[in-house]
Structure formats: C-alpha cells, structure tokens
C-alpha cells in the first residue's frame, strides 16, 4: 500500500483500501474517492470494476431506526414506529468496529429520523473515533444552535437536511405541516458548515430546481437531488408524484447545465439515455458497491429495495462482512446481468436498463426497461401486479403536524 500511496502522490491523511485492481483512496478533507490501479492490472472502466463488486461497500446506508416524528408520504422505508427488535447500542458499536476493520470510509446514516435514537450522538462519535466518517440525513427537528456548533467543529460528520419543496406549500404537502420551517431553521443554523440540502425530485417540485439551488447557495449548502423511487410509502404515491416525461427531460437538461456543482449519487443515470452521461455513479450499484443495514440488522442490496427478494442476511448472525462478501444474493448481483428487453436498445450502455428497485416495485421484470425509460418503453410495460412491501412501520394515524413526543 505504501508503494501505491507514493506512486499516486497521496498524503498520509488519505485512507487507502486494497481492492483486486489496486486500491480505493478516500480523502477525508475533500470527501473525494479515487481509484488507483496497479500497473500490472488490465485497463478497464471504473464502472466495470464496480459491477464486479468491491471488497467493502463505498455507499453503505445504515438506517438506525424506523421511528420518525414525521410521516412523509413518499418515505422509502415506510417509517413511523420504532421496531422493538432494533439493534442495541452495543450491537451498533460492534457493527462500527467491523466497518473499521473492513475500511468502510463512511456510512450514510438515515431512518426514520435517526436523531430520535437516544444514543444517536454517542454512535456518531464512536464511528468517527473509529475512522468511519458519518453522513447523516435528518428532517432538522433536533438540530439546535448548540448541536450546530458541535457539527461545525466535527471534521468527519456531514449533515444532510431533507426538503421536498422550495416553498412551504409544496414541501409541507409531502413532508407535513411545519416541516418546511423546521428544515429551513436547521439549514440556517448550519450555514457555512458544508451541509447538504437534499431534495427528492417529484412532479410537484421539478419546476423548482432553480429555487432549491438559490436556497442552497444562500445558506452555503450543497444541493443534492435524488430520484423518487416507488419504495416504501413511495409506492403509494408513485403514480401521482413521479415526474412526467417532460419534467424528466427538463431535469436532465438542468443537471447537464449544472454539472458537478449538484450531487445526485446514482439517481439519474437512466436519463443518460437522452444522449449524454451525467455526473455521478452511472450504474446500479445494488449489492456491488451499495447496500443497506436496516434498524434490526437486516442487510438489503440497496436502501430502496427493502423487500425479502433483496434480503442478503443479518449482521446479528455472523456480522456484516460475511453477508457482504459471501451472500448468494450479492454474488448473483455481481454477475453480468441480463439486459432482457433492453438488449436491443441503442442506449443500453448508457442507461443499463435503469434502477432495479424502481422496476421491482412497479411490477416490471428486472431484465428490462426502467418505469421512467426515456423512450417510454417502461411505461408501456406497466401492466403487471405490483409487489407489496415486506414491512410497514407507518403509524396508523397519519401525522399532519410535527410532534414533540418521542416516537421511540
């Protein structure tokens, strides 16, 4: 590793993780991931390496709880009530110890609302002390001035505030009355800390991208746009909230115009079929570079695929590493995938058939077009029966206002 580090001109502050092709490097200062190939390794695209799977995930989402003080209509994990089988503090720390041994550079913590766990900040501190950076998503309700100052001084913790409308009217229809004001207050407290403003693009807010960018710029935040997927309660609102074909085209043009200044993860690679590749991860990384640990320790291929079909194992059995490295599901996802009906599409190399979870939860075959295929092939195929989610933690009575009570 030292030879690779010297050859790549990396400082000793950059974390290096050996991989079969050489190494992955993560700079905790710039949050940049880079890919270092040994001279002896055959040349090939980064995506090809990612498709064959890595020794440890680069995008590990960990939902710490299904408890939430909001009830967003599109919640990917149908959150609301705490699951009594939730991992204990000691079990969470054991997971972090393992992630440190595996050199997982950082975890994306979510929920539910992760900050409602009483041990949330203790776990964040434990992770960073063990060289696992933390990026956590929150609705902002537990961010006060003291916590904002603490976050300002924390080098290895990134915060992401969720907002699904650039106005209270649009946001609160999706996330609940009062949630716009809460998120904006948190963003203001976090101004200048490098926080992210995270938006799920819907039919209602697709026309507000400039307004979201203006909010982010004004508060010194980075805008992150993600795709609405029909997962969890998102399945219930997919038909009315997923962007229209015209809106998708407009989102694509907008993303092209804004390039690297807006983060998107792997959200919009299906739009590359319009002609140009967008910045971000341009493949479905489920089970290859992406996975989810849910609040009870179940490991799924992706945070948008909480269904028994995509369940690879549980960390309570023998830990996380054996699930990631040896589970039958993940091994099969790392094999070349059939293109199915997309095989004859001239844009398959760009779009690769789109998102596995979006196909699954709209009842489409996994080998075939995405429901939002830019040529409309997915939409025409949408006739099948849709699978029902394996679990639902929604509260029985939908909360229209934020509440102060602990849902734990």
Residues that bind ligand SF4 (CB under 6 A): 229, 266, 273, 284-286, 290, 302, 304-305, 342, 345, 347-348, 351, 353-357, 369-370, 373-375, 377
Minimum distance of ligand SF4 from residue 83's CB (angstroms): 22
Nearer to ligand SF4, 52 or 147 (CB): 52
As a whole number of angstroms, the distance between CA 71 and CA 67 comes to 10
CA distance readout (Å), 261 to 150, 184, 216, 264, 280: 26, 21, 11, 10, 11
CA angle 251, 254, 257 (to 5 degrees): 150
Nearer to ligand SF4, 172 or 266 (CB): 266
Minimum distance of ligand SF4 from residue 313's CB (angstroms): 18
For residue 109, how many other CB atoms are within 10 A of its CB?
Answer: 26
Nearer to ligand SF4, 33 or 347 (CB): 347
Minimum distance of ligand SF4 from residue 354's CB (angstroms): 5
Minimum distance of ligand SF4 from residue 286's CB (angstroms): 4
Nearer to ligand SF4, 15 or 60 (CB): 60
**Contact criterion met (CB below 8 Å) for 384 and 361:** no
Nearer to ligand SF4, 215 or 358 (CB): 358
Q: Is the peptide bond before 112 cis (omega within 30 degrees of 0)?
A: yes
Q: What is the DSSP letter of 384?
A: S
Nearer to ligand SF4, 210 or 349 (CB): 349
For residue 44, how many other CB atoms are within 10 A of its CB?
Answer: 11
Minimum distance of ligand SF4 from residue 233's CB (angstroms): 16
Tracing tokens 């040994």 back to the chain, one arrives at 38
**Contact criterion met (CB below 8 Å) for 360 and 366:** yes
Minimum distance of ligand SF4 from residue 212's CB (angstroms): 21
């Amino acid at each position: 590793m030292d030879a690779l580090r010297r050859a790549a001109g990396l400082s000793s502050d950059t974390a290096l993780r050996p991989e079969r092709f050489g190494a992955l490097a993560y700079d905790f200062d710039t949050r940049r991931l880079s890919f270092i190939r040994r001279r002896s390794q055959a040349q090939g695209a980064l995506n090809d390496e990612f498709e064959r799977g890595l020794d440890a995930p680069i995008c590990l989402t960990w939902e710490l709880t299904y408890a939430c003080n909001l009830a967003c209509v599109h919640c990917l994990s149908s959150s609301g009530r705490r699951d009594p089988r939730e991992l204990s503090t000691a079990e969470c720390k054991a997971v972090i110890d393992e992630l440190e041994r595996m050199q997982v550079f950082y975890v994306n913590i979510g929920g539910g609302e992760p900050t409602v766990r009483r041990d949330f900040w203790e776990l964040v501190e434990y992770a960073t002390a063990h060289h696992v950076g933390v990026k956590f998503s929150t609705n902002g309700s537990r961010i006060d001035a003291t916590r904002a100052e603490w976050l300002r001084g924390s080098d290895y913790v990134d915060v992401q505030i969720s907002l699904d409308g650039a106005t209270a009217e649009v946001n609160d229809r999706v996330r609940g009355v009062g949630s716009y004001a809460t998120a904006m207050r948190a963003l203001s407290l976090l101004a200048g800390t490098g926080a992210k403003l995270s938006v799920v693009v819907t039919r209602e807010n697709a026309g507000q991208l400039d307004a979201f960018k203006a909010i982010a710029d004004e508060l010194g935040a980075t805008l992150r746009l993600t795709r609405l997927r029909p997962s969890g309660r998102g399945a219930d609102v997919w038909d009315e909230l997923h962007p229209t074909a015209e809106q998708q085209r407009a989102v694509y043009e907008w993303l092209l115009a804004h390039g690297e200044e807006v983060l998107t993860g792997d959200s919009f690679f299906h739009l590359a079929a319009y002609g140009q590749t967008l910045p971000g991860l341009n493949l479905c990384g489920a089970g290859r570079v992406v996975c989810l640990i849910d609040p009870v320790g179940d490991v799924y291929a992706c945070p948008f695929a909480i269904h028994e079909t995509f369940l690879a194992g549980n960390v309570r059995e023998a830990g996380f590493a054996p699930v990631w490295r040896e589970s039958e599901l993940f091994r099969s996802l790392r094999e070349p995938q059939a293109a199915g009906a997309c095989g004859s599409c001239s844009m398959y190399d760009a779009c690769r058939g789109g998102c596995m979870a979006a196909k699954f939860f709209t009842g489409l075959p996994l080998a075939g077009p995405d429901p939002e295929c830019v040529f409309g092939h997915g939409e025409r195929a949408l006739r099948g029966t849709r699978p029902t989610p394996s679990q639902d933690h929604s509260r029985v009575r939908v909360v229209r206002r934020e509440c102060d009570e602990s849902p734990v």
